[in-house]
Structures are given as C-alpha cells and as structure tokens.
Structure 1
Amino acid sequence: MIQKVPYDSRNGIHLMIGNVYQYNRKFGKTLSLIQSRNPDLVFLVETDQAWADAMTPIHEGYPYRILCPLENTYGLVLYSRLPILRKEINYLIDEEVPSLEFDLELRGGQVITIYAIHPTPPVPGENSTSTERDAEILIVGKKSKANPLPSIVIGDLNDVAWSYTTSLFLKTSELADPRRGRGFFNTFHAKIPLFRWPLDHVFLSKQFGLAAIHVLPGIGSDHFPIELKATLTANDTTDTESATNEEEQEAEEKITNGHENQKADQD
C-alpha cells in the first residue's frame, strides 16, 4: 500500500486524467473542471482535432504541451504547467495508437518520467482478444522499471484494476496502485450507475507517497475523470511487488504475441 503523505507542491504533482469520449461535444464541462481543479498536468484521451481546438483557452496557463489529436478515438492531448524536458510520441504496438513518454521537472528541481497511454480494448469482430492491449501495458511497465527516475503511468488502460494483466503489470514494473486499501474509484460507465469499473489509472513508483485521489464530476463522457496528488518522499516507503522468473517470462511472451498479432493484422 502506498504511504499517505501531505501534499508538497515543490516535490509533488497534481494530475488530472480523463477519457472525454471523442463524440462528446460538451467541451465547456471539461474546461470548467480543469479551471476549477487547477491541476499541474492534464491528460485527455479520445481527443480529435475539435477537442484540441476547444482546449485552446487553457494554453496560456499550460505552456508545455504534447498534442496528438486523431480521428480514430485514440487521440491524446497533454497540458502541463511544469517544464517538459524530454518528450516522445511512441507507437508501441499499433501504428495508429500513440502513447506518450516524457520527463517533467517538478518545482523543486526533481525530474520524473510520465508514461501516458490508451491501449486498444478487445472488440468483438475486430480485435477479439486483449493480446495487443496487454502487450502495450507490459511494454510500458518494462520501460518504467528500467528507468532510474521516479515514474508514473497514467491513462485509460481499458482494463480493470484487479485483472490478471494489471497484476502482472504491477509485478513486472514494480509500480504501485494508489487505490489499494482505499476503494475502487470507478470511472466507467459514467451513465450506468449500477455497472461501473475502474478503467482509468494512475500507477506510482516507490519514490512517491499519496496525498489525495478523487473521481471527479462527469464531463458528458462515458468516463468520469480522475485526479491524484502525489509527493516524492525522502525514503522509498511503498511496498511494491516483484515478478518471479516465470512471470517475467510470461510478460515477455505476451509482448511478443502482441507484436506478432499486430504484424498479422497488417499483413
């Protein structure tokens, strides 16, 4: 379980993540929520060009941006008050599905890495298995574990917090889920109260303590946004899981299968 700590704006970060639902045109709800919550970083998925254009009113307050709007429901836009020192737009499995990797400088001078993703879900008749989604999630976990900087993984993973893949991801990445021991924090389906699941995630490396986590009010999407405040701690006080040799091998096999499936789809 991640340690609860006070929020420290110099050594911490306030994040807001939301799947806006591409065909949702209630742009003002998202703008109003960003302005009222005032996070350091905003990550929005399913953003087409209309969404990117609609978010221009916040550009002045968020001078560091990574914009990758797309019309295929896999567009990404990211806005930051904190300096982005390095940024990559990657296509880890599918050439039509981007993900972000970037280094961010906190106010106190510490540098952290954030991985922002939205992998494809299983879709009957189109992408009937979770092979490619699982591979992308596990690739990001592998990259995070190899990174010497404190790291955070954020996004709509199209997977629930208790799934086998998420469990394998947490073990192979040695990241921690801030919800554990605190509740489900369900974000989907915003319009069906009796059927809700935690599909939008923030995972933290062991250098972070948790200051706050909340599911936010609806923005007209089928997902609720979620926000989190985390602070770097002096000691690595979070207990993280580690993968066995068999689990490491299984993760590598899933990654290989994801690449092979995508190659077969292209052929």
Structure 2
Amino acid sequence: MKNAAVIALRTVATILIIATFVPLLPFEAWYIRIFDFPRTQIFVMAALTLLFFLGMRLWRFGLDKILLMGLVASLVFEAVNIYPYTFLSPVEVKQAPADAPADGQLSILVSNVYQHNVEHQLLVDLIQERNPDLLLTLETDSIWQEALRPATDAFPERVTIPLSNTYGMHLYSKLPLRQTRIRHLLDEEIPSIKTYVQLRNGVWVELHAVHPKPPVPTEDDDSKKRDAEIVLVGKEVKRSDYPVIVAGDFNDVAWSNTTLLFQEVSGLLDPRIGRGFYNTFNARYKLLRWPLDHVFHSDHFKLVKLERLPDINSDHFPMMATLSFAPENKYEQKEPQPDEDTAEEAAETIKEGKEEAQEEDD
C-alpha cells in the first residue's frame, strides 16, 4: 500500500511540475496554452504534494530530491504569477475618493450569458437591480435579445449583433454613443465593437468590446488568433487620444503572457491587481475557476467599485466595474511598461494570427 502511495505521489508531482512549466514553451497549441489557466489550482496542489513528500520523508532518494526541488520551483513560479491578484500586492488602480464627482463616473456590467441558458429573467432582474450605465452581453442571440427587452428598453443607445454561433454581442448604453463600428478583426464569425461613449461631464471615452475564440479543440486548435486579436486592440488603444476602456471575455486569464503583453502594449490598467482574482469562469465548478472576463482602462480613471455579481445560471459570473474619470491624478497610477522585447513579441503575435486567419480563409 505504501509503495502504491509513493508511486501515486511521484506521479502527481511530475504532472504538476510539467503543468507549471510547459506554458513557457513557445507554442500556441491548445494543449500547451490550457495550462496558463489553473495557476491557483496548481499552486495549491503543489503545496499539498510537497507536504506529503516531507511527511513521508521521501527526500532521501535521488529521484525524489529532483521532484522535491521541482515542486519548490513550481510553488515559487506559480506564486509569482498569482501574487499580483492577491490582497498582498499593491493596487494598480487607485481607489476613487468618496466625493468623486458623479458626472465623471461610469458603470459597466459585463455578462457572458451562455447562449443556451434559458434563465433569462435572472439577468433581467440583475440589470434592473444594478442599473449600469453600460451593459455588454456576450453569447447573446436573437432569443436573448428579445428576452432581455424588459431590462434593455431602459437603454436608449444600443449595438446589437445577435448570432447563433455563441459569439453574439450586444452593447446597451444610457449614455450617448458615437462613431460606433462593428468589426471582425481576424474572423468573419467573431465580432467586436469599437465606439465612443460620452460621460455626463461631456468627456468622450473610447470603448472596445471583445470576445475572441478560446484555444480549445471545439473552437481553435491553438491560441494564435485569440492572442493576435487581443494584442491588435492593445496596439490600437495605445495610439488613442481619448480615455480608454476595453471590456469583454478575453478567453484568457489575467496572468497569461498574452494578457500581460496586451497590458504592456496598451498601457491599460487592471483594477483587480491588489484586490483579488474575481474569478468569473467556471461558475459551475468551485474548484476550477479563473478570471476570464475583464475590464481594463487607461490611467484617466480610478476605481469606485469592482464586483463579481451573482450567478445567472451561465458558466460565467457577470462582472461590474464603476470607474471615476480623474485625469488630474492620472500620474499617481503607474502604467504597465513595455520592455525591450515587447514590440517584437507583439508584432510576431499579430503576424502569426493574421497568417492563420488567411490560411483558414484560403
């Protein structure tokens, strides 16, 4: 029995070490990129496995010494990745003062509804309760569009893209919109939205809504197009003369190389840093959750409130962020800085994504 337990422990340790470091390989295949996601789960399992190793005194053997060092390395590596999203880290986005002007605030509710979810009323009730300025819904088809009318009729501005391929997208606004464009950056089946929204104080804000395909066998065999779309938006907003918000389901976690590259390229801030994980997927499995739904913004804003909202019977929890326009204090917040490899990495990411899209079109 003890021998079987030792073999099982060694097997688990080997799997955890591989799962930790395989995402460092320069490959975009789904079975590589999928290990970007469960950083927290790997950290916890590696810690437990290390305790068992120590408890069973397995460090006395040559192979086990290597596994022990590998587990320690895994713990350190995963801790470095997830540390910014814990309360131990300094916040990246400053808290807005309690007396921040109301006419400079903007609230946005982002919800991937899961297209086949039939509990429409749960989201209707949530929208009416939270009363956001902007509502972004993802995976919304014509059925969802109609079902949400009791709540969305209160939004005079709207951008509707009802699709039945799980990539429908709807943007509703109580604030004025202008220069709205529906775009297909790399895939004719995958829309995104670019628009400008006017705050109550008259300031115009550039808004991007995105939902690229995830790297899973049923969608894309690799992450090239997802990564390219995210970085393309990042490059575009960096050139903007406006305050910027980018929101949506990235189908990528906050700590992945691609999302970090997006931040370096765009200079946008992540309000979760220093506040928590805000895991939005998978709502159905408590032990398998990570942050896929994001609201990034330029340093023109401070944070009033960030919330993961209640379950709506989707596989995603909705997210809601309330931001305060505070340009006079923008330099209090440090933008993510590109390093010497950022431009080259971004160019290569975009090139690979475009080449893959072209191959699929051909």
1:123: how far off? 1.9
CA distance in 1, matches of 2:354, 2:342: 19
| 2:329 equivalent among 215, 235, 240 | 235
Count of residues in correspondence between the two structures: 267
For residue 190 of structure 1, give the secondary structure of its aligned residue in structure 2: coil
1:123 and 2:216 are equivalent in the alignment: yes
| 1:256 equivalent among 342, 345, 351 | 351
1:177-196 to structure 2, matched below 5 A, reads 177-196=270-289
Q: Does the aligned pair in 1 maintain the 2:155–2:173 contact within 8 Å?
A: yes
1:221: how far off? 0.2
Per-residue CA deviation, residues 90-118 of structure 1 (Å, 9 max, x unaligned), is 00010110000000000010110110000
1:172: how far off? 0.5
CA distance in 2, matches of 1:39, 1:249: 39
More helix by share: 2
More strand by share: 1
| 1:5 equivalent among 96, 115, 126 | 96
| 2:242 equivalent among 123, 127, 149 | 149
1:8: how far off? 3.5
Greater gyration radius: 2
1:85-164 to structure 2, matched below 5 A, reads 85-124=178-217, 127-164=220-257
What do you get for the CA RMSD once the two structures are aligned?
Answer: 1.1
> 2:58 matched to which residue of 1?
none
AA partner of residue 352 (structure 2): N
Structure 2: state its 5+ residue gaps: 1-91
CA distance in 2, matches of 1:60, 1:191: 30
Decide whether aligned partners of structure 1 residues 112 and 126 sit closer, same or farther in structure 2, where only a CA change above 3 A counts.
Answer: closer
Per-residue CA deviation, residues 212-239 of structure 1 (Å, 9 max, x unaligned), is 1000001110000000000111221221
CA distance in 1, matches of 2:283, 2:152: 27
Decide whether aligned partners of structure 1 residues 190 and 125 sit closer, same or farther in structure 2, where only a CA change above 3 A counts.
Answer: closer
AA partner of residue 2 (structure 1): V
For residue 102 of structure 2, give the secondary structure of its aligned residue in structure 1: coil
1:184: how far off? 0.3
CA distance in 1, matches of 2:153, 2:281: 31
For residue 10 of structure 1, give the secondary structure of its aligned residue in structure 2: helix
For residue 103 of structure 2, give the secondary structure of its aligned residue in structure 1: coil
Per-residue CA deviation, residues 48-97 of structure 1 (Å, 9 max, x unaligned), is 11011112223431000000010100000011100002201000010110
TM-score of the pair, normalised by structure 1: 0.98
Q: Does the aligned pair in 1 maintain the 2:248–2:293 contact within 8 Å?
A: yes
TM-score of the pair, normalised by structure 2: 0.72
For residue 349 of structure 2, give the secondary structure of its aligned residue in structure 1: helix
CA distance in 1, matches of 2:120, 2:102: 28
1:125: how far off? 6.1
> 1:244 matched to which residue of 2?
339
AA partner of residue 5 (structure 1): A
> 1:214 matched to which residue of 2?
307
AA partner of residue 101 (structure 1): K
Per-residue CA deviation, residues 137-183 of structure 1 (Å, 9 max, x unaligned), is 00111111111100000000000011011111100000010000111
For residue 291 of structure 2, give the secondary structure of its aligned residue in structure 1: coil
Q: Which runs of 4+ in 1 moved over 3 A?
A: none
Structure 1: state its 5+ residue gaps: none
CA distance in 2, matches of 1:78, 1:60: 12
- Decide which moves more: 173-182 or 6-15: 6-15
Identity of aligned residues (%): 44
> 1:83 matched to which residue of 2?
176
Q: Does the aligned pair in 1 maintain the 2:134–2:171 contact within 8 Å?
A: yes
Decide whether aligned partners of structure 1 residues 96 and 125 sit closer, same or farther in structure 2, where only a CA change above 3 A counts.
Answer: closer
Q: Does the aligned pair in 2 maintain the 1:43–1:78 contact within 8 Å?
A: yes
